[in-house]
Structure 1
Amino acid sequence: MPPSLVQTFRGFAYNNAWANHRLLTACAALSQAEFAAARTGFFPSLQATLNHIYVIDLFYIDALEGGWLGPRAWADEVPYPSLAELKPAQRAMDQRLIEICDALTPERLETIVKINRDTSVQTERRDRLLMHLFQHQIHHRGQAHAMLSETSVKPPQLDEFFAAGEAPLRAQEFTELGWTEGTVWGG
């Protein structure tokens, strides 16, 4: 694996955390009732969709760290009913994923991760598991983004890592997250 692929996964981890930060910050403008309100989507609300992202992150990130949590990760499908609880929990989960990706090497990308499925053990290459996890997050964030568009809150831009014309907003968000562009890209 080329070393540039390691940087790509690092970029995905930071982008993921930034997108979650933007989406959850936008959702913070909703009342609790609006956050939990029934909406059209694979999961029936913003609350359920965003908690699903969290619990699946917990499942896979635990496995990437060598843990054995397995399906207990989703024993409670909505572990954080309020956004005030969910946002810091998701931020901590995103930081764990960043740390995993910061520790990657080309050789480590090809190592096998064991995933506890209760009745079996799934084995997957680390790079493939990371690709799956990022795709899962993007997929469900898109659903939450669409649900948010049904409210009075404007959905945030999520599909450009360094969107032209958003430098002041990016700088503010990076400050909130404790990052600089150097943190993300090195140097």
Structure 2
Amino acid sequence: MPGDAALPFRALARNNAWANHRLLSACAGLSQAEFTAPRTGFFPSLRATLNHILVIDRFYIDAMEGGTLGPAAWAEPEPCATPAALHRAQAAEDRRLIAVTEGLDEAGLGRIVAVHRGSRVQRERMDRLLLHLFQHGIHHRGQAHAMLSGTSVAPPQLDEFFAEEEAPLRAGEFAELGWSEEAVWAARP
């Protein structure tokens, strides 16, 4: 939308939440043994990989909200033991991230965010930090998606969020998340 520089960031935040919802909904069909089984990836299991996404989201979203949580965010690397607990916790973080992007305008995208890293404070533009966080989630969801391929549960499609022809298929999931296709793409004055 012309004149709404924050619209792509709001859409990416919802894409992030939708992909997490789809992936974690699929994981609900796993046994606990499959969820924690050793697998090939940067992290050694689906549980570890998906918890990593959650922990890093907490770290960066806190900074975007002006908090100083810093490294305390990853004090417990796997705070959620089950897919259900992880789904609830990730959904809460996704709502926080959507709220951050809902409050953005062009000036907000250029705002400097203080990221507390323990021994230092990193200063980063909001738009760049958001892009980093979205890329981080995509990267690790891709790894979890591949891991899921080796289980009894088929991995869900995660890359159709922006395809207009797929809107009818997303409608039920969007309703579960409290959105509509129109709301995702609504420009702000």
The alignment's TM-score, normalised by the length of structure 1, stands at: 0.95
From the superposition, tell whether residues 165 and 110 of structure 1 become closer, same or farther in structure 2 (CA, over 3 Å): closer
Residue 161 of structure 1 is matched in structure 2 by 161
Q: Percent identity?
A: 66
From the superposition, tell whether residues 6 and 164 of structure 1 become closer, same or farther in structure 2 (CA, over 3 Å): closer
Residue 58 of structure 2 is matched in structure 1 by 58
Residue 107 of structure 1 is matched in structure 2 by 107
Once the 2 structures are TM-superposed, how far is the Cα of residue 84 of structure 1 from its aligned partner? 1.3
Q: Which runs of 4+ in 1 moved over 3 A?
A: 162-169
Once the 2 structures are TM-superposed, how far is the Cα of residue 165 of structure 1 from its aligned partner? 6.0
> Which letter does structure 1 place at the counterpart of 2:56?
I
Residue 173 of structure 1 is matched in structure 2 by 173
Q: CA RMSD in A?
A: 1.4
Q: Return the alpha-carbon distance in structure 2 between the equivalents of residues 101 and 89 of structure 1.
A: 19
Residue 132 of structure 2 is matched in structure 1 by 132
Q: Return the alpha-carbon distance in structure 2 between the equivalents of residues 42 and 71 of structure 1.
A: 20
From the superposition, tell whether residues 164 and 130 of structure 1 become closer, same or farther in structure 2 (CA, over 3 Å): closer
Residue 41 of structure 1 is matched in structure 2 by 41
Work out whether residues 64 and 126 of structure 1, in 8 Å CA contact, stay in contact via their aligned partners in 2: yes
Work out whether residues 4 and 105 of structure 2, in 8 Å CA contact, stay in contact via their aligned partners in 1: no
Once the 2 structures are TM-superposed, how far is the Cα of residue 5 of structure 1 from its aligned partner? 2.8
The alignment's TM-score, normalised by the length of structure 2, stands at: 0.94
Structure 2 unaligned regions, length at least 5: none
Once the 2 structures are TM-superposed, how far is the Cα of residue 168 of structure 1 from its aligned partner? 4.5
Q: Deviations over 1:15-61 (max 9, x none)?
A: 00000000000111101110011000000000000000000000000
Q: Deviations over 1:66-115 (max 9, x none)?
A: 00000000000000011111101100100000000010000111110001
Task: Describe how 1:65-76 pairs up with structure 2 within 5 A.
Answer: 65-76=65-76
From the superposition, tell whether residues 141 and 174 of structure 1 become closer, same or farther in structure 2 (CA, over 3 Å): same
From the superposition, tell whether residues 3 and 155 of structure 1 become closer, same or farther in structure 2 (CA, over 3 Å): same
Q: Deviations over 1:108-142 (max 9, x none)?
A: 11110001111101000111100100000000000
Structure 1 unaligned regions, length at least 5: none
In the comparison of the two structures, how many residue pairs are matched? 186
Q: Return the alpha-carbon distance in structure 1 between the equivalents of residues 53 and 155 of structure 2.
A: 17
> Which letter does structure 1 place at the counterpart of 2:71?
P
Residue 152 of structure 2 is matched in structure 1 by 152
Residue 29 of structure 2 is matched in structure 1 by 29
Work out whether residues 3 and 105 of structure 1, in 8 Å CA contact, stay in contact via their aligned partners in 2: no
Residue 83 of structure 1 is matched in structure 2 by 83
> Which letter does structure 2 place at the counterpart of 1:146?
A
Work out whether residues 114 and 122 of structure 2, in 8 Å CA contact, stay in contact via their aligned partners in 1: yes
Q: Secondary structure, in 3 states, of the residue corresponding to 1:5?
A: coil
Work out whether residues 15 and 161 of structure 1, in 8 Å CA contact, stay in contact via their aligned partners in 2: yes
Q: Return the alpha-carbon distance in structure 1 between the equivalents of residues 125 and 159 of structure 2.
A: 27
